[in-house]
Amino acid sequence: MIDAETSDPSRSAPADPSGRALRFAVDTGGTFTDLIVGEAQGSVGIYKAATTPEDPAAGVLDALAIAASDAGESLEAYLGRAESMVHGTTHAINAIVTGRTARTALLTTSGHPDTLVFREGGRQEAFNFTVPYPEPFIPKALTHEVGERVLRDGSVHVALDEAEVVDLLKRLGDDGVEAIAVSLLWSIVNPAHELAIGRLIEAHLPGVPYTLSHRINPSIREYRRAMSTCLDASLKPIMGAYMSGLGERLASAGFKGRLLVVTSQGGVMDAADVARAPVHLINSGPSMGPVGARAYAGDAASETLIVGDTGGTTFDVSLVRAGRIPRTRETWLGRPLSSHMTGMPSVDTKSIGAGGGSIAWVDSGGLLHVGPISAGAVPGPVAYGQGGIRPTVTDASVILGFIDASFFLGGRMELDRDAAVAAVRREVAEPLGLSVEEAASAIVGLATETMVQAIMGITVNQGIDPAHAAFVAGGGAAGINAVAIGLRLGCHTVLVPETGAVLAAAGALVSDLMAHHQAMFHTDSRAFDMDGVNAVLDDLESRCRGFATTTGTDPAAVEIDWSTEARYPDQAWEIEVPLRAGRFRVPEDVAALVEDFHKTHREIFAVDDPTSAIETVGWNATVRCKIGADRPGRIRVPASFEPLARRRVYFAGPGWTDTAVHRFEALAEADTIVGPAVVESDFTSVVIDPGTTARRDAMGTLVIDLDSQEP
């Protein structure tokens, strides 16, 4: 723990003279843009607007306009009361997937131009040689070798030929290069040559953004370091323009607060800072799901939480283990093994194309599929009446009575059930010889199984038994099959936070300002270099303190989380192991690290070797500056509710069933619901299967007990 230093007043949000400052958190999804507003009295408001893929900022402003109207204020006056806005965005990953990144050149050590070609990974189908390997992220035509060579001990074997670099930069300028990535061998030990190239770029190509690998990702693994460097450089022009454009549009609309952006590490950074290192934005949106889940889990936060965030386009799965959110450096930009890897640490999430907007279709062999194609925000599900003609999971849910067509978004959007019925009949029921209800139930059931398999991949494959975990359901479409997923996994409990429909935005509202620093230093527990390790940790803490002094928030406390990347001797890959303290003082500290490594290895792989020594390769320090409350707050409860009528709901097995419908916000802590039932809010419908009981806890979370029902 370290104390925060003096804040930078230039980064402080303006004081609100009325004392009614607001905090905004926005998550831009594929179908809806979610907004959660933290209010001065501790309550929160939730709002949704359709995402505008061609202009994401427009969807943000639309959601803010809805919130301002609800408050009875003009947008300008409403935004003028804002203290901060946290923005989660998919703009970076969308730019990569669609190939809209900048024209980027890669400069690398002479004799090593194929780092991005060799890459890492393999094949999804080991013996299918017809599947081509992906093209390198930076084409060979834009990859240039530089005359220099640093050895692994940091000594210079071949000095940098600066005249050659200057000539190369002139050619790059003539070639229309918009960004430059510099990744040289062993720059993580001696960065002198990379720094020299950086100075030459500034002198001869002023204004062209560049990234040096030893700064963005000081990793020993050459491919990962080169990839993250290339990604960062290629994103700088587009993300710099997006961030500045978003800031200007918010300012012109009346926003005078602090603009923060969600990072892949599960924290937030100032928009200006993240524009200078946009590689941190690649996994921005999904990283907040487990943060929100942990905030609302209550007593269950100390257990293993399986977090499912079901949006309109994707289903994102993540974990919380004993209060910690696992991270990984193996984040792929497509299919695992057969695409490219970011190489940067990020919250460990798995995303699949299964959500409320996933399209159901029958192939030529008569097999039903759900996803991965999504109707997205445009045209959306058939029931939206915006031009969609192919049935989705949402359409099936409307047919089954899981979603009330007249109460969608609290009644602000009327759904067309008849159109959904016609689409499911035409595309699924008739080809399969089923009734419309049976076809709709099959669509939801298949979507459930797809999600369960994704969860298995992140739990069972890491030694986690779902039967010993609670399932936290987030996202607007989560409640449709949350109980079905929990039963299929064998979980003892399903938790649906009251802000679950905007779980990622809720997580963003309570997230910390965060920066991740790392350094490479190899040592062995049999001859542990305590002085060398402590010197590295001293440098990391100094960098963390430097970050704390620039946060401008005057947090009550600043915390540093320490970890190391370690392995058994001669093992190919490392695992991340938390450190008990930020320094090694006595031999017992080393023994504790070895013990923790064996325990972590056993948790992940179900095996360990307690008699073996360990090697440490990298050291990490994550600094967290708290800027808000530990929990987002409770939803504002209106003075009165329109009663929700009972309705017929179709459950697989019993069929159409007369079902009680409860208002989520109106449930008291002492109320107990016995299924079959539906719990509805303006933004989600939670289906309580027959024989399952549910109650609301002190945090407002709907706690569904599955132990009383057989799977």
The answer to whether the beta carbons of residues 3 and 545 sit under 8 Å apart is: no
Confidence band for 6, pLDDT divided at 50, 70 and 90:
very low
The answer to whether the beta carbons of residues 616 and 523 sit under 8 Å apart is: yes
End-to-end CA gap in the chain: 45
| pLDDT at residue 7 tops 80 | no
646-668 residue pLDDT tens: 899 999 888 999 999 998 888 88
List the structure tokens of 423. 């689409």
Confidence band for 18, pLDDT divided at 50, 70 and 90:
very low
Mean of the per-residue pLDDT values for the chain? 86
376-430 residue pLDDT tens: 767 889 988 888 899 999 999 999 999 888 877 777 788 899 999 999 999 999 9
pLDDT at 8: 36
The answer to whether the beta carbons of residues 651 and 639 sit under 8 Å apart is: no
CA-based nearest residue to 611, from 622, 624, 597, 625: 597
pLDDT at 402: 92
pLDDT at 298: 67
| Stretch (H or E) spanning 436 | helix 436-459
The answer to whether the beta carbons of residues 349 and 314 sit under 8 Å apart is: no
Q: Please tell me which of 37-41, 507-511, 525-529 the model is most confident about, judged by mean pLDDT.
A: 525-529
CA-based nearest residue to 240, from 353, 367, 91, 405: 91
Q: 13-95+240-281 falls under which CATH superfamily?
A: ATPase, nucleotide binding domain (3.30.420.40)
- Packing angle of the helix pair 56-70, 222-253 (nearest 10 deg): 40
Quote the DSSP letter at residue 636. P
| pLDDT at residue 341 tops 80 | yes
Lateral strand order in the sheet of 304-310: 350-352, 315-321, 304-310, 469-474, 493-496, 702-705, 693-696, 672-674
CATH code, 513-625: 3.30.1490
| pLDDT at residue 1 tops 60 | no
Q: Which residue has the higher pLDDT, 349 or 190?
A: 190
Instruction: Report how far residue 688's alpha carbon sits from residue 59's, in angstroms, rounded to the nearest whole number.
Output: 32
| pLDDT at residue 12 tops 60 | no
In the block, which residue shows the tokens 């915390």? Answer: 559
Q: Report CA dihedral (404, 406, 412, 416) to the nearest 10 degrees.
A: 100
Q: Report CA dihedral (180, 284, 52, 229) to the nearest 10 degrees.
A: 10
pLDDT at 504: 85
Instruction: Report how far residue 470's alpha carbon sits from residue 627's, in angstroms, rounded to the nearest whole number.
Output: 28
439-468 residue pLDDT tens: 999 999 999 999 999 898 888 877 788 888
CA-based nearest residue to 622, from 539, 516, 709: 516
676-695 residue pLDDT tens: 999 988 888 899 999 899 99
| pLDDT at residue 207 tops 80 | yes
Confidence band for 375, pLDDT divided at 50, 70 and 90:
confident
Q: Which residue has the higher pLDDT, 13 or 131?
A: 131
pLDDT at 10: 33
146-194 residue pLDDT tens: 999 999 889 999 999 999 999 999 999 999 999 999 999 999 999 999 9
| pLDDT at residue 593 tops 90 | yes
Quote the DSSP letter at residue 141. G
pLDDT at 2: 34
* Burial (CB count within 10 angstroms: exposed 0-12, middle 13-18, buried 19+), residue 158: middle
Q: Which residue has the higher pLDDT, 532 or 508?
A: 532
Per residue, the 3-state secondary structure of 54-84, as one string, reads CCHHHHHHHHHHHHHHHCCCCHHHHHHCEEE
Q: What pTM was estimated for this model as a whole? A: 0.83
Quote the DSSP letter at residue 41. T
The answer to whether the beta carbons of residues 421 and 398 sit under 8 Å apart is: no
| pLDDT at residue 670 tops 50 | yes
251-279 residue pLDDT tens: 999 999 989 998 888 888 888 888 889 99
Confidence band for 306, pLDDT divided at 50, 70 and 90:
very high
* CA max distance for the chain: 81
Lowest-pLDDT range of 35-44, 293-302, 451-460, 577-586: 293-302
